[in-house]
Chains A and B, each alone.
Chain A
């Protein structure tokens, strides 16, 4: 069996000033897994995932990255394994061209110029941004800026991606683009952790959902299982996507798998007809 890329061992976090933002949490993220993290504002989602690349350090418990204790390793070192894409691309873009932006991460890792060029090339083709390379990141429209920010993390070649609110501020096309990218990261065998309030996104892409409530993980399971559990939904004050709500009310007692997407719901309705 391969080593899990991220293991939280009773990991807890209390901010200076005494806010207990995360109660001791034990969690194993499997390689190649797409994990969705959901919960109310202030429930501790960002606090949890900021540990994964060392932006926050546990105030209790341990974090293992590829089986090793992350404690002694600084952020710029953990960045090799875990890529963190911030919610607001403006917080990370600074260069005058997209290409320079893509070079920044791999160069920081101390790679040779040839490898850096290769990484930039890979990221460019993966994200399909060949045409943007000479553009100024600040002049790009928001969805493209977000894309460049993600590409600049991809260029560092991490195995794990943490995406904080990837669809916030995106339009329909932008959200679709994010969905496709996550699918392609999955195909490449990458591990993806998504923090989001966008339940439709989570329902469509996540293998597993982690539901937080008041600094605590209160449920973990497949989206189908989590969105079917009234108790979890009520406790976390979350709603399943509209199509799932529809399916549940349309066929309440059904034992069939709960539809999470419009396509699944359509199949279910047609199945009934036949």
Chain B
């Protein structure tokens, strides 16, 4: 890969007072403009990996680190979190815990004020990102008077407004209803397509990730277990099962059919692919 925007080189990390490392010798390059889904069971190190992308690991956590993370040419060990914040936007897994301002407008403005964005530009961007995440009309609402789903959207808007080159989202849709989840993934897809924003997203919802992601990385016990295009990774039903992840339902269907003696030409990973592989009744 020529000049990746994220380059993780042999990264190992162990939190203080714990017995096992959270990450073990992880090496991963991500090119600008990729949409990477990170999956894996609880405790696999997904959150730790996210935190290492803007320097919170190791700067704000106690623990031992080995290896290197280079973000847009900056070594995270040599750069502060505040400086990396200009390149990497971060959405944490608990939406409510990351909001601190009196209104949505000010929540979004916070990062812009800190990086010295002029006031007119700030107002324009606030308007823009509120529209992007579907919160137009909520600018003066207190984040505490919002539902969990709305808070999650606001946290995303606050990160987006800083126009990061890399946007990292750690389980950003855990409290959202199905349509809300869909909206978050498609906003990310839109930014990815139109602005070339690099997306790294931790997500359990494998069916949706199969359609949106350009790459899937599966972590297991702190290591990269599988890594590649969704079509290549998600078809490995048994390998996924072995590390405590799962394949999309349609892929599992193909797997079961094959187990029961019906040959399947090509494993589908999305609904559309499944309909192509198993032509609809009557069409045949």
Direct A–B contact in complex, judged by CB atoms less than 8 Å apart: yes
Which of B59-67, B113-121, B184-192, B246-254 forms part of the interface with chain A?
A: B246-254
* B residues less than 8 Å from A251 (CB atoms): 280-282
* B residues less than 8 Å from A143 (CB atoms): 42
* A residues less than 8 Å from B72 (CB atoms): none
* CB-based nearest B residue for A253: B282
* In contact, A266 and B260 (Cβ under 8 angstroms): yes
Q: How far is the CB of B42 from chain A (nearest CB, A)?
A: 5
Given contacts A171-B204, A265-B253, contact A237 B42 (CB under 8 A): no
* In contact, B178 and A238 (Cβ under 8 angstroms): yes
> Is B262 on the interface with A (CB-CB < 8 A)?
yes
> Is A141 on the interface with B (CB-CB < 8 A)?
yes
* 30 residue pairs A–B, Cβ–Cβ below 8 Å: A40-B180, A41-B149, A41-B175, A41-B176, A141-B43, A143-B42, A165-B175, A168-B174, A171-B42, A171-B204, A172-B244, A172-B246, A173-B244, A197-B178, A237-B179, A238-B179, A242-B207, A242-B249, A243-B249, A243-B250, A246-B274, A246-B275, A250-B275, A251-B280, A251-B281, A262-B253, A266-B256, A266-B257, A269-B253, A269-B257
Contact of A141 among B40, B42, B249, B250 (CB under 8 A): B42
Contact of A173 among B41, B147, B280, B282 (CB under 8 A): B41
> Is A245 on the interface with B (CB-CB < 8 A)?
yes
* A residues less than 8 Å from B174 (CB atoms): 168-169
* B residues less than 8 Å from A254 (CB atoms): 281
**How many B residues, CB 8 Å from partner?**
38
* B residues less than 8 Å from A237 (CB atoms): 177-179
Q: How far is the CB of B102 from chain A (nearest CB, A)?
A: 19
* A residues less than 8 Å from B275 (CB atoms): 246, 249-250
In Å, the complex CA distance between A56 and B133 comes to 32
> Is B155 on the interface with A (CB-CB < 8 A)?
no
In Å, the complex CA distance between A230 and B82 comes to 49
Within 162-183 of A, Cβ neighbours of B (below 8 Å) are at: 165, 168-174
Q: How far is the CB of B68 from chain A (nearest CB, A)?
A: 29
* In contact, A197 and B244 (Cβ under 8 angstroms): no
* B residues less than 8 Å from A241 (CB atoms): 249
* In contact, A249 and B280 (Cβ under 8 angstroms): yes
Given contacts A142-B42, A269-B278, contact A171 B180 (CB under 8 A): no
Within 201-216 of B, Cβ neighbours of A (below 8 Å) are at: 204, 207
* CB-based nearest B residue for A250: B280
* B residues less than 8 Å from A197 (CB atoms): 176-178, 181
> Is B4 on the interface with A (CB-CB < 8 A)?
no
In Å, the complex CA distance between A253 and B257 comes to 22
* In contact, B257 and A242 (Cβ under 8 angstroms): no
> Is A114 on the interface with B (CB-CB < 8 A)?
no
* In contact, A41 and B148 (Cβ under 8 angstroms): yes
* A residues less than 8 Å from B149 (CB atoms): 41-42
> Is B271 on the interface with A (CB-CB < 8 A)?
yes
* In contact, A41 and B249 (Cβ under 8 angstroms): no
* In contact, B43 and A245 (Cβ under 8 angstroms): no
Interface centre among B244, B253, B256, B282 (most CB of A within 10 A): B253
Q: Mark A239-274, 1 if CB is under 8 A from B, else 0.
A: 101110110011111100000001101100110110
Contact of B41 among A171, A200, A266, A272 (CB under 8 A): A171
* CB-based nearest B residue for A265: B253
In Å, the complex CA distance between A49 and B249 comes to 30
> Is A75 on the interface with B (CB-CB < 8 A)?
no
Contact of A245 among B148, B175, B262, B271 (CB under 8 A): B271
> Is B245 on the interface with A (CB-CB < 8 A)?
yes
* In contact, B281 and A42 (Cβ under 8 angstroms): no
In Å, the complex CA distance between A168 and B173 comes to 10
* B residues less than 8 Å from A270 (CB atoms): 257, 260, 262
* B residues less than 8 Å from A141 (CB atoms): 42-43
> Is A219 on the interface with B (CB-CB < 8 A)?
no
Within 52-97 of A, Cβ neighbours of B (below 8 Å) are at: none
* In contact, B262 and A252 (Cβ under 8 angstroms): no
In Å, the complex CA distance between A172 and B249 comes to 13
Interface centre among A142, A171, A254 (most CB of B within 10 A): A171
* B residues less than 8 Å from A41 (CB atoms): 147-150, 175-177, 180
